[in-house]
Structure 1
Amino acid sequence: MKSKFLNSLLFWIVLAIIAGWVCSLFFPVWLARVFVTFNGLFSNFLGFFVPVLIFALIAPAIASLGQGAGKWLGITAGVAYGSTIISGLIAWGTASLLYPTLLAGKSLITNVDNPEEGGLSPYFTVEMPAPFAVMSALLLAFVIGVAMTAVPSRNMKAVLDELNGVILKVVTSFVIPLLPIYIFGTFLNLGMNENFGSTMAAFGTVLVLSIVMTIVIILIQYLVAGVVAGVNPFVALKNMLPAYFTALGTSSSAATIPVTYASTLKNKVDEDVAGFVVPLCATIHLSGSMMKITLYALAIVFMGNLDIAAGQVLGFILLLGIMMIAAPGVPGGAIMAAVGLLQANLGFDESMVSLMIAAYIVVDSFGTAANVTGDGAIALMLNKFAAGKIKGSSLDDATLDNANVSRETSVETAGSTVVK
């Protein structure tokens, strides 16, 4: 267990944050600027790569959802999307209500370009224009994915699946291993800008708030499920606690599938319904992740004094809900799928994106635990209408034993554990 933690992405991210602050106390400016130069290059690469990543994830995901799925797949996906969007809206409302008090007087200054004033600037930059804009990638993926559900497209689907595999290889072998260095550079820059203390104090408050709100969203989901399914929501939630704590320890919805399935059956959900909903929602239902990303993003908007209109926030949430459907296929988690929207819709710079990644991963397991526990609530609601109508979907022993082989299972790559 200790060895597994030391090889995890969480460990390296926490180490990078601490090392960045410590090194800011004694690093000479010339050496610190080396890491800031790397951050600029890596950020520009992400700007180039993210639109391709979005297309490679979303297009085959939409095409797969429509092929031979039947109405229950569409209904389940719709409920999962609705749950994720509601989570984002609640996060927005919470931020609007609490941030003026919680973050009063807090500021976020990450981009100070004058080294004479203690800030850091890169030695050089390399422009890496994206092949197309983030919104273009999303629209193209949506159009092609939907069209593929209406016409025979076996060859096209094979091409998109291979593209998906190639892009994920880039993420696992290149992007994820470099994330700790990227985050180290960000916190080194913060420390040398004398902005580290105030930023961490403010974000510490937001981290605690995000954990509390993931629990709140679970309670809301089970209250709704209790009304729809006619069951005691608190008893149902109690039965799902093994899944919650398993996900808390694994940070993987896929690795938790056997426990989620068994816990769902304790709530007297039909075996076929549970066998259909649990694996599907493990890959498309990310209400907990949505809660955290939205709260963190709006905290940065507030502290950075960004001029973001309400319509932009709403658009961000609606589009992020779509990203979350494909997010489990992204090694490194939902936050990597959100990078493009953070930059395109909210105007985040490289340091803001790095802060988002670090904050998300530090408490990643709480979001994953909320995701899988919410899957049980969706199964309860679907069971009310689909029991006896979904056949042959119960999970057999082999499926349960090999649940960790799913797309979202923790993947050890270059000393990093993939997390959702």
Structure 2
Amino acid sequence: MKEKMKAYRFPIILLLSIIIGSVIGLIFGEKAMVIKPLGDLFINLLFMVVIPLVFFTISSAIASMDSMKRLGKIMGSMITVFVVTGIFASIFMLIATVIFQPGSGVDIPLENPGELEEMTLSEQLVNTFTVSDFVDLFSRQNMLALIVFSVLVGVATGITGENGRSFTRFLTSASEVFMKLVQLIMYYAPIGLGAYFASLVGEFGADLIGDYAKAVIVYYPVSILYFAIGFTLYAFLAGGKLGVTRFWKNILSPAATSLGTGSSIASLPVNLQAAKRIGVPKDVRETVLPLGATIHMDGSCLSAMLKIAFVFGVFNMDFTGIDTFLTAIGICLLSGIVMSGIPGGGFMGEMMIITLYGLPMEALPIISAIGVVVDPPATMVNVTGDTVSSMLVTRHLEGKDWMDNVEVEAS
């Protein structure tokens, strides 16, 4: 019993720091903003480490693979899992919106968003997957370009053979060093997250009421239910009862970090650590999680469905019928998987909702505002969805007994 409690000690400390921070924010309101720099310090440390961490983890994982066939299997299984979980998340929120109708009876003044900068799809794709200068890879705004570069370096190292072995050892060593750096940063997490939540609640606490209260009242419980029920089911499918136990034992740290930072990228270092402790193999976790942080967003699928239902209610449109629902699920998948990896993808997803349903441009600020108020739990679902997806990919690749065959690092 003592050993079990020791394993949960750090997540409990994190949880307590978030609760204490939130209470401070509620009591002191905007005065709590004075400790925001303590939270910003933690966020900046995570952002600082994420670029080299992504490069070394992906490139070392791929360079160390026995064959490129293994990479193909991981990628194929990953895409399947991402699409299936995205559809499930969309349907989950669709049922909730049909029952609770979040936009009905809401009266929001319409504002014209003004001129919008247009970019062709081909230009957008080029800018998403490549950069014009090597130094631009070092910006987290170009994460997909960095991932493409990391994959290519890993493949090139792997096919170089004997001459590339020393470089493979360097990549693997660097990956371990940066993971250890993440461990050091996490010692500061209770202070950083506590301060961040205090300032967050102090600044935005009052904004979660009013016109968007109904959307918040629907989204927050639904996302928590999806997190609790959906992810428990996925963990069970991935590893049975042991899978559920290991998932819940290790998921609180990335969940708390993502809830506080509102960033899948900032949460990636902590998430990689959690997946390692769950027992997800190195090549799987170091391929699936960095890609998942940019192109897999179950929380975004949930929020896209809420945006559609909410704006239908605001404009007194009929949100019923199989065609309407299938189109909504398709938009959610595009928003949560395809668009999420593109810089400004959230905005493109919102534009797609307006265009496909023939809504006036005045609907854009309404949809964007929902994105802001539901962002914290959406990010939490995005991040933890990547963890459980890596477990499902491992189950597909290694068989049902994969958890019995891995040594797990102690928490």
Q: TM-score range by the shorter chain?
A: 0.5 to 0.7
Distance 1:268 1:159 in 2: 32
- The structural deviation recorded for 1:237 is 2.3
Per-residue CA deviation, residues 223-269 of structure 1 (Å, 9 max, x unaligned), is: 13313422346522231110000111221112211211111122222
1:250 aligns with 2:288: no
Once residues 6 and 356 of structure 1 are traced to their aligned partners in structure 2, the CA distance between those partners, rounded to angstroms, is 28
Counterpart for residue 325 of structure 1: 337
User: Aligned equivalents of 1:159 and 1:281: distance in 2?
Assistant: 15
State the partner residue of 1:338: 349
Q: Structure 1: which amino acid aligns with 2:327? A: G
In the TM superposition, what whole-angstrom CA distance separates every residue of 1:346-403 from its partner, at most 9, and x where no partner exists?
2333332112212212331221111111111111112223249xxxxxxxxxxxxxxx
Q: Deviations over 1:139-161 (max 9, x none)?
A: x899xx9xxxxxxxxxxx79973
CA contact (8 A) 1:292 1:367 kept: yes
Q: Secondary structure in 2 aligned to 1:375?
A: helix
In 2 relative to 1, CA 220–338 (structure 1 residues): closer, same or farther, beyond 3 Å?
A: same
Instruction: Provide the secondary structure at the position in 2 that maps to 1:212.
Output: helix
The answer as to 2:124 corresponding to 1:90 is no
Higher mean C-alpha displacement, 277-286 vs 344-353: 344-353
Residue in structure 1 matched with residue 82 of structure 2 by the alignment? 80
> Matched residues in 1 for 2:133 and 2:75: separation?
22
d(CA) in 2 for partners of 1:365, 1:371: 10
Query: 1:362 — aligned with what?
Result: 373
Q: 1:217 aligns with which of 212, 220, 226?
A: 226
Contact 1:228 1:381 in 2 (8 A): yes
C-alpha separation between the residues in 1 aligned to 2:74 and 2:381? 23
> Within the alignment, does 1:259 sit opposite 2:270 as a pair?
yes
Q: Distance in 1 between matches of 2:222 and 2:128?
A: 40
Which digits, 9 at most, give the CA deviation of each residue in 1:278-326, with x for residues without a partner? Answer: 1121122100111112113201211320245531342232133134334
Is structure 2 residue 33 aligned with structure 1 residue 2? Answer: no
Which residue of 2 is the match for residue 201 of structure 1?
210
Determine the C-alpha separation between the residues in 2 that align with 1:3 and 1:87.
Answer: 35
Distance 1:255 1:305, change over 3 A: same
Q: Which residue of 2 aligns with 1:241?
A: 252
The within-5 A match list for 1:105-144 is: 105-108=105-108, 110=110, 137=121
Closer, same or farther: CA 275–331 of 1 in aligned 2, 3 Å: same
The one-letter code sitting in structure 1 at the alignment partner of 2:216 is L
Distance 1:89 1:308 in 2: 14
- Contact kept? 1:221, 1:377, Cα under 8 Å: yes
Q: Secondary structure at the match of 1:255?
A: helix
The sequence identity of aligned pairs, in percent, is 22
Distance 1:322 1:293, change over 3 A: closer
C-alpha separation in 1, matches of 2:392 and 2:285: 11
Indicate conservation of the 8 Å contact 1:288/1:368, yes or no. yes
Structure-2 residue corresponding to 1:377: 388
Contact 2:105–2:313 (CA under 8 A) maintained in structure 1: no
How many Å separate the matches in 2 of 1:70 and 1:314?
Answer: 30
Q: How far is 1:89 from its partner? A: 1.4
TM-score by length of 2: 0.55
- Aligned residue type for 1:216: L
Distance 1:335 1:159, change over 3 A: closer
Give the letter aligned to residue 318 of structure 1: G
- Residue number in structure 2 paired with 1:31: none
CA distance in 1, matches of 2:90, 2:329: 6
For the residues of structure 1 that align with 2:118 and 2:342, how far apart are their CA atoms? 19
Counterpart residue identity of residue 77, structure 1: I
Match of 1:115 in 2: none
Matched residue SS, 1:256? helix
| Alpha carbons of structure 1 residues 275 and 224: separation in structure 2 relative to 1, 3 Å | same
TM-score normalised by structure 1 residue count:
0.54
Q: Which has the higher helix share?
A: 2
Tell me, in whole angstroms, the C-alpha distance in 2 between the residues paired with 1:105 and 1:272: 50
**Residues 343 and 257 (structure 1 numbering): CA distance in 2 closer, same or farther, change over 3 Å?**
same
CA distance in 1, matches of 2:82, 2:389: 7
Q: Secondary structure at the match of 1:263?
A: helix
Q: How is 1:140-155 mapped onto 2 (pairs within 5 angstroms)? A: none
The structural deviation recorded for 1:70 is 1.1
Tell me how far apart the structure 2 counterparts of residues 276 and 267 of structure 1 sit (CA, whole Å).
16
Q: Distance in 2 between matches of 1:259 and 1:162?
A: 27
SS at match of 1:230: helix
| CA root-mean-square deviation | 4.2
Tell me, which stretches of 5 or more residues in structure 2 are unaligned? Answer: 1-34, 42-67, 142-207, 400-411
Q: How far, CA to CA, are the matches of 1:105 and 1:372 in structure 2? A: 33
The answer (yes or no) to whether the contact 1:244–1:373 under 8 Å persists in 2 is: yes
Write out per-residue CA displacement over residues 64-123 of structure 1, whole angstroms, 9 at most, x where no aligned residue. xxx995132022012112211211111111100112xx6654445527xxxxxxxxx89x
Give the distance between the partners of 2:359 and 2:132, measured in 1 at CA: 28
SS at match of 2:130: helix
